[in-house]
Amino acid sequence: MLSSEIRYFLAVASSGSLSAASEQLFVAVSAISRQIQRLEAQVGASLFDRHARGMVLNEAGEILARQVRQSMLDMDYALAEIKGLKAIRRTLIRIACTDGMAFSLLPGLLAEFRALNPGVYFALKVEGSQAVAERVRAGECDVALQFSLHPESGVEVMGSWPAPVLLAMHKDHPLAQQPAPVTLEALSPYPMALPEQNTTVRQLFDLACQMRGCVIEPVLTCDYFATLYHFLLSTPEAITISSAFTLLNETQRDLVLREMGVDQLSQRTLQLQRVSGRQRNAALSPFLSFLQQRLNEIAAGLA
């Protein structure tokens, strides 16, 4: 139901170049270029910054793309309602989350909800915290779960739970036997496996180290917590950092979580987010209620 100009505009915006959009749409580059120029003439402004390597939305293009995507989502909801697809027995819920939530806890919660509502389908995107926040603001997901250091603007926070940074290690690790909080200085003899510096957990850990004057050189850095987790299992003296939510089920097996007694490491929360003001479909309301209830129960058990 989109015009050719808008379809081609969105394809270039998402792919970053005319040639990539051409391959995606099976349309000649020249035809896409003409439609983009026609659209720019209609709105009276350039929509892209053109570079040798491709095309990037400028401020006017961002405004148009945001409005078009919003209109598309509204149309999706309208068509779903017309076709009777808003019944909970046939509903897709789109979720965005950061890596820590995708490791163990969220898959379990999704399975638990589907056991009660087998007609509900999920589409999950796992991204960095900034990308998750952008996806929520753009209306590209129905609900998001992410660890955050501050309230996100332009989103509705349905719930927030403390998610301090903890040390994760094997239950037989030498530091696991110490009753007091583990000091940062005590970590230096042991191999550290850490997330990349674009994660909130690593940012808080690095800040705490800087304030204590500690230099900790990780032997492994990785964007995927699953990699850090399996490295930990394969390296008995290794240590990583995590939240209790991320390793909720694993601490019942071979791992333990230890506090570090540093105030800066308690600044993070787990947030349940959704698009502010967006209409909920038939399954989303009970799903949000389910997540709120289960996360309240989990947080109470961790307290």
Supply the pLDDT for residue 200.
85
Sequential DSSP letters for the chain: ---HHHHHHHHHHHHSSHHHHHHHHT--HHHHHHHHHHHHHHHTS--EEEETTEEEE-HHHHHHHHHHHHHHHHHHHHHHHHTTTTSGGGEEEEEEE-HHHHHTHHHHHHHHHHHH-TTEEEEEEE--HHHHHHHHHTT--SEEEEEESSPPTTEEEEEEEE---EEEEETTSGGGG-SSPPPGGGGTTS-EEEE-TTSHHHHHHHHHHHHHT-----SEEES-HHHHHHHHHH-TT-EEEE-TTTTTTGGGTTEEEE----GGGG--EEEEEEETTPPP-TTHHHHHHHHHHHHHHHHHHH-
Question: What predicted TM-score, i.e. pTM, was given to this entire model?
Answer: 0.69
Supply the pLDDT for residue 75.
75
Q: What pLDDT digit, counting tens, does each position of 268-294 carry?
A: 889 999 877 666 666 788 899 999 999
Q: What pLDDT digit, counting tens, does each position of 57-101 carry?
A: 999 999 998 888 878 777 776 666 555 445 555 688 899 999 989
Supply the pLDDT for residue 80.
60
Supply the pLDDT for residue 108.
92
Supply the pLDDT for residue 293.
94
Supply the pLDDT for residue 85.
47
Q: Which residues of the chain have pLDDT under 50?
A: 84-85
